[in-house]
Chain A
Amino acid sequence: MIRFLLRRLLWFVITLFVVMSVSFVLMRSVKGGPFDNERVLDEVIQRNIEARYNLDWPLWKQFLQYVGPINLDDDGARWFVRDEEGFHLAKGLHWFQDGKLLVQDPGVDAFTGVLAGDFGPSFRYKDWTVNEIIAQSLPISALLGMVAMMWALSLGISAGIASALRPGSKLDLSMRLAATAGIALPNFVIASFLIILFVFLIPLFPVAGWGTLRHMILPGFCLGLVFAAYIARLTRTGMLEVLSQDYIRTAHAKGLAPRTVIMRHALRGGILPVISYLGPATAGILTGSLVIESIFFIPGTGSHFVNSATNRDYTLSMGVTILYTVLVYTLNTLVDLAYTFLDPRIDLESK
Chain B
Amino acid sequence: MQTDSGLALRQLVAFLLLLGVLAGAVLLARGARLEPADFTFNNGTEVQTLDPATVTGVPEGRVIRAIFEGLVIKDPRTLEPLPGVAESWEISADGLTYTFHLRPDARWSNGDRVTADDFLYSYERFLSPATGAEYAYQLWYVRGARAYSTDIDDHGDPIHDFSSVGIQAPDESTLVIELEAPTPFFLDLMAFYPLFPVNRRGIEEAKQRFPQTWTTEWLKPENIVTNGPYRIAFRRVNDRIRLVKNELYWDRDNVAFDTIDITAIEKDSTMLNFYLTGEANFIDRLTSNVVPQMMPREDFNPVPYLGVYFYRVNTQKPPFDDPRVRRALWLTIPRQTICEKIKKMGEVPASSLVPPLPGYEGARARPGDADEARSLLAQAGYGPGGKPLPTIEIHYNTSEAHRDIAEVIAEAWAQELGVNAKLLNQEWKVYLDTQTNLEFDVSRSAWIGDYADPNTFLDMFVTGGGNNKTGWSNAEYDRLIHEASRELDREKRARILHDAEAILMEEMPILPIYFYVTQNVVDPRLGGFYENVQDEHFPKFWYWMDDEELAAKRAAYPDDGRHEWVTSHGPHEGKYSPAQLRRRGARQ
Contacts and interface: CB of A to CB of B under 8 A. Distances in A.
B8 A271 contact: yes
B263 interface: yes
A143 B274 contact: no
Interface string A206-237: 11111111000000000000000000000000
Given A48-B130, A146-B19, A39 B56 contact: yes
B50 to A, nearest CB: 6
6 contacts: A40-B466, A129-B213, A154-B16, A208-B270, A267-B6, A341-B2
Interface string B261-278: 001111101100110110
B219 A40 contact: no
Q: How large is the interface on B (under 10, 10 to 19, 20 to 34, 35 or more residues)?
A: 35 or more
A209 B280 CA distance: 11
A160 interface: no
B220 interface: yes
A176 interface: no
Contacts of B129: 44-45, 48
B237 interface: yes
Interface residues of A, number: 77
Given A37-B432, A48-B130, A125 B48 contact: yes
B51 interface: yes
A31 B467 contact: no
Residue among B6, B132, B265 with the highest chain A CB neighbour number at 10 A: B132
A143 B23 contact: yes
A31 B150 contact: no
Contact of A139 (B30, B216, B273, B427): B30
B56 A208 contact: no
Interface stretch (A13-21, A83-91, A291-299, A320-328): A291-299
Interface string A283-325: 0000000000011110100011000001110000000000000
B263 A40 contact: no
Given A127-B49, A212-B33, A295-B269, 17 more contacts: A36-B432, A37-B134, A44-B150, A49-B132, A49-B134, A107-B211, A133-B237, A137-B238, A146-B19, A146-B20, A150-B16, A206-B279, A207-B279, A211-B33, A272-B8, A310-B427, A311-B429
Nearest to B426: A31
Given A40-B436, A199-B277, A208-B265, A136 B236 contact: yes
Contact of B12 (A38, A48, A137, A153): A153
A297 B12 contact: no
A143 B27 contact: yes
Interface in B125-144: 129-134, 136-137
Interface of B: 1-2, 5-9, 11-12, 15-16, 19-20, 22-23, 26-27, 29-30, 33-34, 46, 48-51, 54, 56, 129-134, 136-137, 149-150, 152, 156, 211-213, 215-216, 219-220, 236-239, 263-267, 269-270, 273-274, 276-277, 279, 427-430, 432-434, 436, 466-467, 469
Interface in A1-42: 30-33, 36-42
A307 B152 CA distance: 35
B130 A297 contact: no
A342 B8 contact: yes
A268 B428 contact: no
Contacts of A210: 239
A225 B537 CA distance: 42
Could you tell me the dominant secondary structure of chain A's interface residues?
A: helix
A342 B427 contact: no
B19 A48 contact: no
A281 interface: no
B130 A52 contact: yes
B216 A127 contact: yes
B158 to A, nearest CB: 10
B430 A31 contact: yes
A132 B237 CA distance: 9
Nearest to A52: B132
A2 to B, nearest CB: 19
Contacts of A303: 238
Contacts of A297: 239, 263, 265, 267, 270, 274
B237 A128 contact: yes
A41 B132 CA distance: 11
A51 B156 contact: yes
Contact of A142 (B1, B26, B56, B428): B26
A78 interface: no
Given A49-B132, A268-B7, A32 B429 contact: yes
A310 B428 contact: yes
Contacts of B430: 30-32
A159 interface: no
Given A32-B433, A208-B274, A147 B23 contact: yes
